A = this chain, B = another copy of it.
């Protein structure tokens, strides 16, 4: 038998294709080789992996619109059991690929609404959302939908940039450099429960970071990061976000460009994948209600290596989310 059966009326299956018997390059490419269901017909799903193929907020090199498809392809390399956390997300929670959120490449604000509505559909069904972007602006409507359910969110934010700039090109409020300023202004993100990790690169002006710092964001620039070391960073991050509902937003450009050349705004001197994996694992047990992995831009890395990194980090986050889902079921 070659494939998961996806149009039965019996209870849905949530098993990924088994790589021991079906080679990884075989079959329709879905996230982690999971079955694909539409959000309207996914009864039983507890964690919904979905794509947001959109880069309408990009100010420099576009291409993240192609991210979900390449990440799906690369995610076929994932296996079932996490070797360090000693758990299998697919046993802890019902996971499925819920397809892509609807988007309009030519309309920014309409798309923000479409994404919010899509995620709201998931949260209303108690499905934990795990997204593959898309540029970083997509985190704004996700946070809106989550805050609607959970209240102002805490966030562990991996990035080379703070993304708290105000406006671009003479007045544009909604760009991939502004989502968290908007989210804080709108009250969907609680700045005192936000930690930003890996920030670096030149500034437009000396005051670039001030607004965020004034709101109470804990910014760990790369120089401080390297001095603190991974364990201290984890400790700080956990302390900042606390016990309440929190989110992980992972911009792939947090990593050094050698690990992730396929992105729009690379900045040299970033995190290694080992560091990123270690920190995510260190967030185990936080009260996570969603996560995203954004800014994978395939045209700038046709090899797919960036997408492999992205897929593996999604897998790491999925492990945390599934454990939390299981805990909540108990």
Contacts and interface: CB of A to CB of B under 8 A. Distances in A.
Question: So how many copies of this chain end up in the complex?
Answer: 6
A22 to B, nearest CB: 7
Contact of A172 (B2, B39, B106, B266): B106
Contacts of A216: none
A256 B273 contact: yes
Interface bin, chain A: 35 or more
Given A69-B25, A86-B206, A266-B308, A106 B59 contact: yes
B203 A81 contact: yes
B66 A28 contact: no
Nearest to A81: B203
Nearest to A205: B81
Interface in A21-79: 21-30, 36-41, 51, 53, 55-63, 65-66, 68-69, 72-73, 77-79
A81 B300 CA distance: 27
Contact of A8 (B19, B41, B302): B41
A200 to B, nearest CB: 7
Q: Interface on chain A toward B: helix, strand, loop, or mixed SS?
A: loop
Interface of A: 1-9, 12, 19-30, 36-41, 51, 53, 55-63, 65-66, 68-69, 72-73, 77-84, 86, 88, 97, 99-108, 118, 168-170, 172, 174-175, 200-206, 208, 221-223, 226, 256-259, 261, 265-269, 272-274, 277, 299-303, 305, 308-309, 312, 315
6 contacts: A81-B206, A105-B169, A106-B175, A268-B273, A269-B272, A269-B274
Given A6-B38, A106-B174, 10 more contacts: A2-B102, A8-B41, A21-B169, A27-B99, A59-B106, A73-B73, A77-B266, A80-B204, A81-B203, A268-B277
